[in-house]
Amino acid sequence: MDKLHRSVPAVELKCPVQIGVVVRDLERTTRLLGSLFGIGPFRFIEWPNRPDSKYFYRGKDEHIRIRHAFVQVGPLELELIQPIEGERNAYREFLEQKGGGIHHILFEVDDMDQVVRSLSEAGVEVLQPELDRARDGRS
């Protein structure tokens, strides 16, 4: 049996809390979701939002600038992501390869460091560590 096919899960997931979608045009997408489905209001942020923020992708420190729009839809947070600057990042790569769409589903975990270790030991490559950890330490 290889590392990825296990009798015991490498990680126990809790509830999904976020769906992340990469888009080409954040403003257009938020207007469309608002007019078609009544979703909103959106909270917009640009990242990096602190001078000490770092972005690592495939093990290397990379320059990146992205815009996000967040909105709560029932129990899930919808995150829309538009890459603005930087050529080597998970969002730009996804947009170029897939043309946009669902990029990630975020599950709450108690110990992010342990999850990363367990998945690495199972042979899963970590492309991009988390951008910022929640203030209470959850990831």
Weakest mean pLDDT among 7-16, 76-85, 130-139: 130-139
Q: Is the pLDDT of residue 102 over 90?
A: yes
Give yes or no for a cis peptide into 48 (omega within 30° of 0). Answer: yes
Phi, psi of 98, deg, nearest 5: -110, -15
- Please give the residue that has the higher pLDDT: either 138 or 16: 16
Q: Which residue range is the domain that position 51 belongs to?
A: 16-121
Position 3 confidence tier, pLDDT thresholds 50, 70, 90: low
Tens of pLDDT, residue by residue over 52-88, are 666 667 777 767 888 999 999 999 999 999 999 877 7
Position 6 confidence tier, pLDDT thresholds 50, 70, 90: low
Tens of pLDDT, residue by residue over 30-50, are 999 999 999 999 999 998 766
Structurally, how many domains does the chain consist of? 1
CA–CA dist 138, 132 (Å, integer): 10
* Residue 135 is assigned to a structural domain of this protein: no
* Residue 1 is assigned to a structural domain of this protein: no
* Residue 95 is assigned to a structural domain of this protein: yes
* Residue 133 is assigned to a structural domain of this protein: no
- Tell me the Cα Rg of the chain: 16
* Residue 43 is assigned to a structural domain of this protein: yes
| Unique residue bearing structure tokens 């899963």 | 124
* Residue 93 is assigned to a structural domain of this protein: yes
pLDDT of residue 99: 94
pTM: 0.78
* Residue 28 is assigned to a structural domain of this protein: yes
Q: What single string gives the DSSP state of each residue in 42-111?
A: -EEEEE--STT---EETTEE---EEEEEEEEETTEEEEEEEEEE-SSSHHHHHHHHHSSEEEEEEE--S-
Position 136 confidence tier, pLDDT thresholds 50, 70, 90: very low
* Residue 132 is assigned to a structural domain of this protein: no
CA–CA dist 2, 112 (Å, integer): 24
Q: Check which CATH number belongs to the domain holding 82 and give it.
A: 3.10.180.10
